Structure 1
Amino acid sequence: MDYEIDMDAVDPVVVGRVILLVCEAMLAAKDLDPTADECVVAFGKIIQMVLDDADNMPMVH
């Protein structure tokens, strides 16, 4: 799947907040100790879900 992102149109503050929230959620999940591979796969699945459902997700512009 090809998907282009205009990096100049992306708000770096929003990107930073999303990263912070994801990290906080991972830290709050005390029962998880994911490997690097598991994190990469999880983030890949999140990206795929966002791209597949972009028309139905209000957070995606």
Structure 2
Amino acid sequence: MASVYETLIAFTPELELKPGLAETWETPDDTTIILNLREGVTFHFMMVHRLMRKQLNLTSIG
């Protein structure tokens, strides 16, 4: 599947975070992550819908 999609943030073999579609990111608090995407990155509508559902689920849990 790696040829079909790319992750926002990936891991190195040493389990360190490395950029994927997100060039940079920041965590201003314990429940927020701000991703700065590479130029030209676009999302399919279903991807946005899934991300929004995950956000709602995480908000409900917290």
The structure whose RCO (Cα within 8 Å, separation 6+) is larger is 2
* Structure ranking higher in helix proportion: 1
TM-score by length of 2: 0.32
- The normalised TM-score by structure 1 is 0.33
When you count strand as a share of all residues, which structure comes out higher? 2
